[in-house]
Structure 1
């Protein structure tokens, strides 16, 4: 039976372990073509002779050798027989020699989006290109890529990418229909329709997608999970099993594969993939059909509650809050906003499509700014019992908003998780009868950031605090294909456990 990785909108087929690593479609076409050319030229055979032996046009064989056409397995078998090599030899993932490796790399560099955008002319890659010139061209492109990457690895570039993603999700009302469809197909195929998803259920979904789960204590720093695509394994840190909801970690890792994510080549792509993988995990944990049906009933009874949503499916309050924003506008007709705020008032995550205005940097970024002191997200920390849900109305320059905030504990500290909505939608939520009401004029500095005129006159000349400067404010974006994870440590880890 032929199997393949699922794509958006397509029901994935289970992957038999015997098929792992043996599928003809998994080979890189450029490398396959280079191996065919190497085997042919090593014997002094022309394309015309090879065409006669396999009864195919030389133009087709030329396209195959140039990586522009994928041969059928029957043709690949005939080519291997004509060249006197095995199919397995032609399908090896590495180039046949240094020359071929350099040619493949130069072709990839010359056709990259960066090179095309900069208008760099392409050099014809063929046997007449001197080897020294080939090496020099590859080295030049490597250095150019390094210089380009340095300009992108900055906090400013990261904030710009994050802001662009904010705009994209705002236009979509935080709802991604294709991921909803894929998650529904997978959950229905594995028999999960709603309620708490057990660990065994997650492992069944993983097996359905062709992966096994392995827990080890020596995962590299910065990695929550590592996916080994060669052996179809997802590695988790066994030492963190009690500290994290590993269902979510597994589903995020599966999401990257189910959504066919390529390795990110920009910080924007990295952030987008992370959002999509998180969305996929939430959509599996809280299937759309069952979740919407319950939310619609709660709305009818005017008793919408993020806490209830969290308890019903045994997920964190933050996961439930995110999921609510996915479905609220599309299915309930409710616009909303979301905030994750630290005890110092710093905004770590934010989303809004209800008109609320968050403080923003000059470049338009929200994360890293201080939330208004009058918002429920910060008032929560002033309560005697911050563990209880905190309800509040806030009058702002763009209207009055109702919000519910709750404390969440993480390794990095305590955070408030808040969901809010315009006054007209508050009627559908539990906690709408709260008497708490604050006025905020943020983002005006006079609201809660600038000191009063009396304090300014009294202390401006005498105050000299010693500031905590977080090192990440001065550092570039963490390096690596996946920012913050050391590629060398990941590869050494996979190599160490490949034979387990």
Structure 2
């Protein structure tokens, strides 16, 4: 394998260092080893690779071993600075600027090189931050949704990895316990620590140096399941994640760690056996799936999207909708007509008022699932919706399938039926003509401003996380 430019540059610096240390000029050393001084200059500047025989001659003339010349360490601080600057000026980030590189000469002071290097380091730091405008973030999220739709939301490699880790930890069946999760962490060299002073912007913090995963205390109200958070933190290590290169990479990593946690909490083999029997009994229900594995309704609904198409042959959709009707999480591969913006994004769009995902908010009994058939321009869909609430307000979780597949689900006998013409504006977005005529020019509502509209996406290597808080936290606990 040919040496890299940096390797040749380091070699050249080491040869120059030995030559100058012995008081030789280029021509003098060249005469001793049998090459012209100009050829030796090309080697010292990293422009030409010397033959081994020439290296042996140079080593002999300067009184060192060949291995010393071939060392990857710069011979002195000045050489280290020049090599680092050469590496920085050959980077894609710098070349994209179209600025000519700084030419280093003997008269260039170390302070000047360090100043230029400081600018390069800041340039690299800013480039490494996973920053995205809202539009870029929405496009990245949409691209990821389409990518997962193409594979039926199923990632077989992560499924196998999860089953392997569970088996190694001794998990056989039933709900995954906190103790087993701790064993899984120990097998990766981590200790789970519950800290009450976690940075407010982080769900968990992993100390790679000391082998610790910090989680919030068990009593955190409305928090994510601690088992899931611990598994997600471990997944970064198991899946070989590196620092996100951009927002799309960050989203991909987040999807993968969530997927891994779901696979551990609801293992594929046991989940498919449970669902297959329920389908055979024509009694598929998210609430049964949820209770069998001791997870949240949302987690069970999302896990169903991973397995239903590949293992049960059922296409379906999943929606999480907040009290205002905005879609906050979505997956579909059954062609349910969903609202989109000009970028193709669904997240943040308002679901049709006729959909079960919104109609369920009007139900008096919120403790059980709400079933409904909805006629749409793309056909009739059966849906099951469960509502809930957090400190941020109420929400609904919906799983639905095309009409023909309703026969496998509990609740198929419901008489509740609605008709949706969305995305036709007259369905539920545009007021009736007579109402518009009655109130046009006579109403002046005071709009509620959504402050997040004015907030840029948080900057940092991990979007939304305050690096200063995280490092201060680690210092306190180290």
Class of the TM-score when normalised by the shorter of the 2 chains: 0.7 to 0.9
Contact 1:213 1:236 in 2 (8 A): yes
One of 359, 375, 387 as aligned partner of 1:379: 359
> What residue in structure 1 maps to residue 163 of structure 2?
184
Quote how far apart the aligned CAs of 1:194 are: 3.0
**Pair 1:313 & 2:284 matched:** no
Q: Find the counterpart in structure 2 of residue 174 from structure 1.
A: 153
Quote the residue 1:161 is aligned against: 140
How far the C-alpha of 1:439 sits from its partner, in A, is 0.7
Name 2:444's counterpart in structure 1: 464
Q: Does 1:249 align with 2:229?
A: yes
Quote the Cα distance in structure 2 between the aligned partners of 1:263 and 1:400. 44
Deviation for aligned residue 1:364:
1.1
The CA distance in 2 between the partners of 1:344 and 1:440, in whole Å, is 18
CA distance in 2, matches of 1:372, 1:400: 14
1:237 corresponds to which of 216, 219, 229: 216
CA contact (8 A) 1:155 1:473 kept: no
Q: Is the 8 A contact 2:381 2:400 kept in 1?
A: yes
Q: Which residue of 1 aligns with 2:274?
A: 294
Query: Which residue of structure 2 aligns with residue 283 of structure 1?
Result: 263
Cα pair distance change 1:346/1:242, threshold 3 Å: closer
Q: TM-score w.r.t. structure 2 length?
A: 0.81
Decide whether the 8 Å contact of 1:193 with 1:290 is kept in 2: no
417, 427, 437: which one pairs with 2:407?
Answer: 427
Q: Write the mapping of 1:397-416 to structure 2, written as runs, cut at 5 A.
A: 397-416=377-396
How many residues align? The count is: 433
Task: Tell me the residue number matched to 2:304.
Answer: 324
| Distance apart, 1:410 and its partner CA | 2.5
Q: For the residues of structure 2 that align with 1:455 and 1:104, how far apart are their CA atoms?
A: 70
Bigger drift between 197-206 and 407-416 goes to 407-416
With 374-383 and 412-421 compared, the bigger mean Cα shift is at 412-421
Q: Does the CA contact (< 8 Å) of 2:162 and 2:264 recur in 1?
A: yes
| Structure 1 CA distance for aligned equivalents of residues 174 and 164 of structure 2 | 17
CA distance in 1, matches of 2:302, 2:63: 61
Name the structure 2 match of 1:263: 243
Instruction: Show CA shifts across 1:328-371 (max 9, x none).
Output: 11111111111100011011001111111211111111111101
Partner SS, residue 348 of structure 2: coil
- State the Cα distance separating 1:119 from its structure 2 match: 6.5
Counterpart of 1:277 in 2: which secondary structure?
Answer: helix
- CA pair 239-194 structure 1, distance change in 2 beyond 3 A: closer
Change (3 A) 1:454 1:234: same
The CA deviation at 1:393 is 0.8
Using the alignment, how far apart are the partners of 2:344 and 2:391 within structure 1? 29
Which of the two has higher C-alpha Rg?
2
Q: Secondary structure of the residue that 2:381 maps to in structure 1?
A: strand
| Partner secondary structure for residue 253 of structure 2 | helix
RMSD: 3.4
User: Structure 1: any 5+ residue segments left out of the alignment?
Assistant: 1-29, 67-82, 84-95
Partner residue of 1:193?
172
Measure the CA separation in 2 of the matches of 1:261 and 1:177.
18
